[in-house]
Chain A
């Protein structure tokens, strides 16, 4: 599994959280070595998949969705990492700017959304329903635009998810397998970005007393 690739790509969480080899947080992470290695392996499986790749979700489009999702999380350094990666993919003309614009337009605060009708309905929380702007739609195209709409749903209001939302992806040309990869990509980033945020905060609060 990606043995050559994984050894040559620096650990993304360490890089984004500023964890240096030999540091205290490096030692903390070393105690969950499988989680550390496989979080990185998850990143590689999504962004540098081993051939033959299942489905036909282009790498540039994967980074386009990632740059959008990272932008929605409001973490400038993570957003820059994925925006730079997208720019480095030889993305189609205008896509880098279009994604940056859409991430700004899509800003919201989650989680919101509705529960199945019943006792939890009192916890229903309203929030925006995102659509790609008319100006950027021709740049991004039908398929990628549908991917961004679904990504926004997963990032901010996953409890509004539905079979109809998946059917919209299938109708826009995504296959069942590509829907799974898209879902994993967005959901993985929700994990990776939170690990970065958490470990950064931990690194900034050093223990003053050592047992």
Chain B
């Protein structure tokens, strides 16, 4: 049996604060080379363009779980039918990522939350001040629910549901908060543990 080796980046400039800036991500395990991807790997990647991403080519080592995960992700965040507005699905993802400490995931979904809500400064306050930032009652309720659900063991309960209801969320919207936060407990753990973020070079 051959023991494999991880990849390391002693000269990487690792971001040291939460940011909405675009970051790169460097894998600690060798992704599959593009030339070795089979039909089953492409099925797992779902979108062929993801073959360009080291993250997805790393996860493509086990293509079936990647494919099922990607389809779960897309429906939770992109399904436009009713439920929670897209901006607030992204807020639940950003809040879970801020709480778990995933600088890379938080950067992507804070950017999306800003884009869809046009509340860039509020989103930045979540990143700068953390999960206790006062973002107004409705966003506070979504952040609190996402954070409580992200604790291990979970601290989520009926009080969070009531707070969300009081802000006008129906049951599908509440289920969207639950799924958005829960999904990022999956995503955060992969991004945090299989590689590291990298600040983009200036210029």
Contact = CB atoms under 8 A, between A and B. Distances in A.
Interface of A: 1-2, 24-25, 28-29, 31-35, 37-39, 41-42, 44-46, 49-50, 54-55, 72-75, 108-111, 113, 115-120, 123, 150, 153-156, 158-159, 161, 163-167, 170-171, 173, 175-177, 179-181, 183-184, 186-188, 190-195, 197-199, 201-202, 204-205, 207, 211
A200 to B, nearest CB: 10
Q: Is the interface of B mostly helix, strand, loop or mixed?
A: helix
Given A73-B153, A170-B3, A177-B61, 14 more contacts: A29-B175, A32-B179, A38-B68, A42-B72, A154-B189, A158-B102, A159-B101, A173-B1, A187-B187, A188-B186, A190-B189, A191-B186, A194-B181, A211-B170
Given A34-B79, A176-B29, A205-B162, A158 B61 contact: no
Contacts of B75: 32-35, 38
A178 B156 CA distance: 32
A171 B4 CA distance: 8
B29 A166 contact: yes
A184 B82 CA distance: 30
Contacts of B192: 158-159, 161
Interface of B: 1, 3-8, 14-18, 28-30, 43, 58-59, 61-69, 71-72, 74-76, 79, 81-83, 99-102, 130, 149-154, 156-158, 160-162, 165, 170-172, 174-179, 181-183, 185-190, 192-194, 196
Nearest to A211: B170
Contacts of A75: 153-154
A47 to B, nearest CB: 10
Nearest to A31: B172
Contacts of B66: 184
B28 A54 contact: no
Contacts of A117: 16
Contacts of A181: 61-62, 65
B183 A201 contact: no
Given A176-B29, A199-B175, A187 B149 contact: no
A111 B14 contact: no
A35 B190 CA distance: 19
A173 B30 CA distance: 16
A116 B43 CA distance: 36
Contacts of A204: 158
Contact of A109 (B3, B101, B152): B152
Given A184-B65, A184-B190, A194-B154, A202 B174 contact: yes
